[in-house]
A and B are shown apart, each in its own frame.
Chain A
Amino acid sequence: MTVDLENCDKEPLRFIQMVQAYACLVVVELETMKVRYASENTVEVIGKRWKDILDRPVQEVFSFEVTAQIPVGLNREDGFETLNPIQAFFSVGSDRVLKNVIINRSENNLLIEVEGASQFLHASRYQQMLSRAINKIQRLREYDNLFAETAAVLRQVTGYDRVMIYRFDKQFNGEVIAEAHGEGLEPYEGLRYPHTDIPPQARELYLKNRIRLISNVSAPPARLRASGEVGEDPLDLSPAGCRGVSPVHLEYLGYMGVNNSLSVAIVMEGKLWGLFAMHHYSPRFVDASIRNMLLFVGQIFSGHLSLQSANRYRQENLTRNLARLAVGEMITKTRDIFEGLTHGSHNILNLFEGVSGAAIKFEDRFEEYRYAPPQKDIKELIGQIADRKDPESGLVFHHDNVGNDFDPFMDHCDDAAGVLIIFLNPELTDYVAWFRPGLSQTITWGGKPEKQVVVAEDGTRRLGPRTSFARYVETVEGCSAPWTKEEIDLAMSLRTTIINSMMQRYSEVKQANEQLKKALEDLETFSYTVSHDLRAPLRAINGYTEILAEDYGSKLDEDAQVIIQRIHRGVEQMNSFITDILELSRVGSGGLKIEEVEVSPLAGEIISEMRAVYPDTEGLDLKIQPDIPTIRADRRLLRQLYLNLISNAFKYAEPNAEGIIKLEVGARPATDTKPVVYYVSNTGPAIPEEYTQTIFEMFSRLSTRTDTEGTGVGLAIVDRIVQRHNGSVYVTDDRLGITFNFYLSPDTPQ
């Protein structure tokens, strides 16, 4: 099959029917135990021509040392893994040569590879190298050191020109994170390689067969020949180490100047983490025992990596949990998401590293901390997130280049390229969001990462490897530092914490509301009790006292008459108290019926009522401003307000220096800053400043005026009425003497 632009990433590497020149491959059918495939180079490796061994029984090709192991390997759970390599002698030409035989099972076949064995590699030296490498790796503590040291140890043990620790990122772009190389070689450390350099099917093979030797880039491979007994279908060679190399890859290595490459896959949690990538600039062969040892080192290395990463994760997890608990506690304590997230030592701005700012939107409140894009842009972003209907989007959203995918954030790439949002309600209207600045990231590629199209002589186009490995520096804009899985987990658990404490708060508010409702009902019951039951005994006292005075007055002496009068006065006072308290409770309950009310006639009406009650105020100088502007208020309550203010004036007015008692009802026109202020003013001594606030409290009466009638509830009622109309009432000592001023704005919400 020709690999071209359309199928480049589907190139069937495992079906390449070639073997590398360093080994030969003999494939034995399990059912018949006869050779069904053989590579063309068998004669050079085992001294037998491929044509001669096809369809022959296995024992005619291999000696007893090899064939004896076949049933053993077939019956073992781990197959031939611990048996390989099997050492056996072969007669090649006139020589008896020791070879390593490696057997792997592939479905219904045994793949038997025969390759050279380094006779000089004594068992003790092998042991020594192995334990030195492993010891060194296991003693390492520092994360970064592990890579450099491992590279150095591997180079020392293997003698490769260059040993690199090559790590994949999420997109499988590779980066050389550490290396050890021979003198005079250009350093590759820090270079990146695009994911296309190691395509998906190649990465897949690394998981199956964790070591890959390309012994000699320039040695022509040997074809695999099939017996006429088997079909045309190509054989899957993935278990065989000597499997032929993709021409594209060979070309790639050739351009790099590499003649020999050995890679060991580092697998963490079932995923390809990276490679030990070793290059040699001249051909060389690496013995199967050393390859096994390298595999083992790779396992130790990934184990060490897992351990370190688990330790680090545990540590970070602990820190994160502490932060989450602290914030949760703060929210519960302050009963407020805004305070809880911002007041503690762990707070919204330091939960995640490198944030440019954060924002909280909860109910009607939106707050930004240090920095946030405009609220409307966030709202639009969330709208678009909701439209995409990602199953997780109702809980958390994260992106490290949000402006690229969501146009509301197109203009916020500098300060909010990264966004992390946790949603607090299903409508997505309440949320906590964090923003991360866009980073301009410099990536040094080992060659410009682009596809190379090679046009063959016949005009077909195919994908070729990069021809240039000159450094290519790319600057990537718009991405923030990524939100790690751990950070997203933290955000999720924080969300749960916030929602739980909010639920708690809601249930508390609900409970308080119910208590309040009950209290209001109690108050209504109390009002009724006051109006009915408390008055009955008073009526009795009053009635009997009157009857006593009327029917038996003549029989009582003067002292008794005075006592009767005092009883009478006490009862009257009690009655006014009851009336006023009842009035106050009425102000608080029921809805307001706001209308335009004419003030002048209302005041006039009240004043004539007052005149009837206080007949001795004939000489009063009374002035009602004729053109008082109408006022928007509940008529009944406004009447009560004026009644209380005017009756108050009647009660407390005193003559001025000229001996005249004056009373004035009016209004001052609105100014730029103030609405129309209505007032009731009378002559009399000014109210001392320390009392100007307290007079509006319940039962407060000026201590100097205890002789005057009044319950002290009147002004509390005035205050309550003004409050219900979103207004304000205050005392001044301008105009005639004492002035009560007020304004109402019933149309602004409370």
Chain B
Amino acid sequence: MYINQILLAEDDTTDAEFFQRALSRLDSPPELVWCKNGAEALKGLEDCSKASCMPRLAILDIKMPGMNGLELLEKLKSDPRTKDMPIIMMSSSDEPQDIARAYDCGANGYLVKPSRFQDLRELVGSINYFWIKTNRLRPISS
């Protein structure tokens, strides 16, 4: 069962804060679960899985110390408990090969961190609309 939650794996406090702020400006925003690194995110999702309340969406920063976002993505996509959860990768790189690699690893989306806060707000709005609100209409098989 999914709950109205977004898991954000992001080591940068500022980026996490911007994300939180951008999210909070939405109408009935989803709850943000912030993990500072890949290990924390894995553990968080483990707990969620035990409690049978998975977040609707995970957003993973690619460049993180320790386990990076792509490694985390591959782990989640190969685990039956999390493989159907939509995952969006996030990075400041707009290099085509970086984007392609993310999709190759199974990402459902790729988000280039915008330099303007306003752009981030709009992006977060769209993501919320598509992945949280729209997806809610369709049941996700597990």
Contacts and interface: CB of A to CB of B under 8 A. Distances in A.
B92 A539 contact: yes
Nearest to A548: B117
B113 A535 contact: yes
A586 to B, nearest CB: 9
Interface stretch (B14-22, B37-45, B50-58, B128-136): B14-22
A535 B115 contact: yes
Contacts of A469: none
A547 B63 contact: no
B14 A539 contact: yes
Contacts of B113: 535, 539
B18 A539 contact: yes
Interface string B1-43: 0000000000010110010010000000000000000000000
B115 A532 contact: no
A492 interface: no
Contact of B118 (A539, A546, A575): A546
B92 A542 contact: no
B92 A532 contact: yes
A528 B15 contact: no
A531 interface: yes
A230 interface: no
Given A571-B115, A575-B115, A543 B93 contact: no
Nearest to B13: A540
Given A543-B120, A547-B21, A538 B115 contact: yes
Interface residues of A, number: 15
Nearest to B22: A543
Nearest to B121: A546
B92 A531 contact: yes
Nearest to A568: B116
Given A539-B15, A539-B18, A528 B93 contact: yes
A163 B73 CA distance: 109
A536 interface: yes
A546 B92 contact: no
13 contacts: A531-B93, A532-B93, A535-B92, A535-B115, A536-B14, A536-B92, A539-B92, A540-B14, A542-B116, A542-B117, A543-B116, A546-B118, A572-B115
Main secondary structure of the interface of B (DSSP, over half): loop
B95 A531 contact: yes
A546 B63 contact: no
Interface of B: 12, 14-15, 18, 21, 63, 91-95, 113-118, 120
Interface string A397-437: 00000000000000000000000000000000000000000
B115 A542 contact: yes
Contact of B12 (A536, A542, A547, A575): A536
A536 B10 CA distance: 13
B11 to A, nearest CB: 11
A532 B95 CA distance: 11
A538 B120 CA distance: 14
B94 A547 contact: no
A572 B116 CA distance: 9
Contacts of A571: 115
Contacts of A543: 14, 18, 116-117, 120
Contacts of B120: 543
A546 B114 CA distance: 13
For the complex of A and B, 7 pairs with smallest distance between CB atoms: A546-B117, A543-B117, A540-B14, A543-B18, A535-B92, A532-B92, A575-B115
Interface string A542-554: 1100110000000
B63 A532 contact: yes
Contacts of B95: 531
Contacts of B116: 542-543, 546
With a 10 A CB-CB cut-off, give which of A538, A547, A571, A575 has the most chain B CB atoms. A547
B115 A539 contact: yes
B117 to A, nearest CB: 4
A78 B59 CA distance: 109
Given A543-B117, A546-B118, A547-B117, A536 B94 contact: no
With a 10 A CB-CB cut-off, give which of A536, A539, A575 has the most chain B CB atoms. A539
Contacts of B21: 547
A572 B117 CA distance: 12
A536 B15 CA distance: 8
Contacts of A531: 92-95
Nearest to B118: A546
A575 B114 CA distance: 11
